[in-house]
Amino acid sequence: MSPPDIPPDTAAVPFSIASATIGLRKARALKRLTGIALAAAFVVAVGTLGFWLSERQGMTALRQDANHRLDLFASVVEGLVGQLNHVPATIQLHAEVLQLLRTPLDADRVRETNDQLRRLNTYLGSVAIFVMDTRGHVLAASNADDPKSSFVGEDLAFRQYFLDALSGRSGHHFAIGTTRGEPGYYVSSPIRDQRQRIVGVAAVKVSLAPLAEAWKQLASPALLTDENEVVILSSQPDWLYTSLVPVPMDRKVDWQISRLYNSVDIRPFPLPVQLRDVPGLPVQEDVVDRAVAPGARTGSSWLVQARGLQAMNWRLLVFTDLRALRNQAVVVGLLSAVAAGFVLVMGLYLQQRRRSLRERLRAKDLLEKANAELEQKVARRTRVLSDTNGRLRKEVAERVQAEATLREAQEELVQAAKLAVIGQLATGITHELNQPLGAIRTLTGNAAEFLRRGNQAAALGNLDIVAGLADQMGRIIQPLKGFARKAPAQPAATDLAQSLARAMVLFESRVRQEGVQVEQVCGPGAVVGWCDPNRLAQVLVNLIGNALDAMRDHAPRVLRLEAVVVDDGRVRITVDDTGPGLPPAVLEQLFKPFFTTKPPGVGLGLGLSISRDLVREFQGELTAQNRPGGGARFVVHLPAAAPERHGQQQHSQ
């Protein structure tokens, strides 16, 4: 039997399926590789962006910090070097200098001028002050007595500062001294006679040594250049006397003629610095890459910022190492790349999570049932919370009522304390009033008798005395009226000197009887606090009464009252006595209610506790301590009356 015939199309089907499977696998592999490539590109792009943003932000902060240091050190340089710019112009005010220029061969005149310049130089702290004639010869100098560094007799006609002064201008130049080779800043000014003719030149040499100590403030390599772009001072010794710009031969010849840098060979600056203006900032800037600087590794980069010193035509350059900034930018870039990779991983995780979500939908019925049970529980919990909330509202209402009752009791207690103090003072005040009343009785009887006799002038005199006695009695009674008044606290701008005086009125009789010396350190209107005047008076009466009680058996008896404004804008009232002071055990319990050191029946122990509560009502504080010289000190701190509040109160009055 021959095998059945197989159609050609049917035989090709398995081959076509295999080819399709292979193609599908290749497509999936290609898609996977494409995704990996895109993810890697995304991570690299984010890392690069993070590096760029971090470097840019760091450069901005570094630039601002360097600019601040430039401002600071520029002010230091101008202050140290430029502080003597006015001195040469004042030399011609000395009569000895003009006389010397008229008679340069007078030895006595030379000696007097040298002494004058030496004293002036010692006072100013400069290197030297000297006077030259119109030919550049030094006639007198502050260092004339020093044979090694004396300028007297030198010919300085080649110096640029001499030529500037001789032409009528003020000269300001850096130069290296020809005598001892010491660099300095020279300031010169012409000397004119009464006809305004230039008859000489005065100059002062300022040392640059103090600036060497100031380099430490910058904490970075820095240098100072003169008008020729030559480094005249630097924190790096290798940079000294180098030029930031190429020096042509003709300029070198000029320098040799003027002996500006003496015999120093000016070398090129070791770093390729090309400064450019910075928009918005009064500085010039450059970034030097792959530069080798003293103390730096090969390949380090520097931010160079320069600021001109206009008064001296100098420039200050600060070099800031960028290695730390760029290392930080690299770290930020790596972290950004890691964060981008994490975001991609989270994306893959979320995609996988969406797939698993389809399986969770099968548990929807169970979740709905659990949700229904949860709602029932929430309803029951809500009812419980509502009941609890009702109980809390009731408790809050009870608490508010209790606080109101407590506040009312406190007001009554304050008023009782006032009346108790008034009761203690009643005896003294009665004695004060008895004398005027007796005098009034006698004077009115005399006035009636004078009227019967027709002596009207004498009667009027007696009545005037009676009126004065009545005013005196009113001044005694008036503080008691305000002190005894029961009213809520009304903070206002209060003159503390007036409050102290009102409180002392109540103790005038006792102070005289007990021989107490009162020192009040506060003038009217000098110190103004923000408090209730009546309640402050009650506090002061309590403190003064306690101080007098403490000094009853001690001598000398000195009561010192002081009111000042302290540094924090608050005001302070101090009541000092010369009593026995406060033992440590008493200090710990001094402000506790019902605590007292007085004998039984004399006090309730509520005065200081109530006084502290009153002071705290207007954001103040009452403290106690012992005086260094003996005795006790009570201090009341109060808010100061703000000017606007003080002004508003005066306007309303």
pLDDT in tens, 551-567: 988 888 999 999 999 87
pLDDT of 221 higher than 70: yes
The answer to whether the Cα torsion of 48, 54, 56, 62 is positive or negative is: negative
**Residue 191 β-bridge partners:** 200
- The Cα–Cα gap between 419 and 610 comes to 13
- pLDDT score recorded for residue 417: 58
- In this structure, the number of other CB atoms found within 10 A of the CB of residue 83 comes to 13
% of the chain exceeding 90 in pLDDT? 7
- In this structure, the number of other CB atoms found within 10 A of the CB of residue 39 comes to 17
pTM over 0.85: no
Amino acid at residue number 532: D
- The Cα–Cα gap between 366 and 332 comes to 48
pLDDT of 416 higher than 80: no
- The Cα–Cα gap between 30 and 344 comes to 19
Q: Comparing C-alpha atoms, which of 283, 653, 294 is closest to residue 494?
A: 653
Chain position carrying tokens 């890459």: 289
| Average pLDDT score over the chain | 78
pLDDT of 571 higher than 90: yes
- pLDDT score recorded for residue 228: 81
- pLDDT score recorded for residue 626: 92
Amino acid at residue number 561: L
- pLDDT score recorded for residue 491: 85
Check: CB of residue 232 under 8 Å from CB of residue 200.
no
Three-class secondary structure of residue 267 per DSSP: strand
**For 213-221, which contacts have Cβ atoms below 8 Å and span 24 or more sequence positions?**
214/73, 214/76, 214/77, 214/80, 217/69, 217/72, 217/73, 217/76, 218/69, 218/73, 218/318, 220/66, 220/69, 220/318, 220/319, 220/320, 220/321, 221/293, 221/294, 221/295, 221/318, 221/319
User: Which residue would you say has higher pLDDT here, 481 or 555?
Assistant: 555
- The Cα–Cα gap between 574 and 25 comes to 94
The domains found in the chain, sorted by start residue, are 85-207 (3.30.450.20), 212-320 (3.30.450.20), 365-466 (no CATH), 487-652 (3.30.565.10)
- Region at 428 (left for phi over 0; alpha for psi -120 to 50; beta for the rest): alpha
What value, to the nearest 5°, has the Cα angle with vertex 119 and ends 82 and 145?
105
What is the 8-class DSSP label of residue 524?
A: T
The whole-number average pLDDT for the span 525-535 is: 88
- The Cα–Cα gap between 173 and 164 comes to 10
Chain position carrying tokens 């009033």: 433
Question: What is the band of 292 on the pLDDT scale with cuts at 50, 70, 90?
Answer: very low
Residues 6+ apart with CB under 8 A from 172: 85, 161, 185, 186, 187, 311, 312, 313
pLDDT of 12 higher than 70: no
pLDDT in tens, 79-136: 777 777 788 888 878 878 888 888 888 888 888 888 888 888 888 888 888 888 888 8
Three-class secondary structure of residue 605 per DSSP: coil
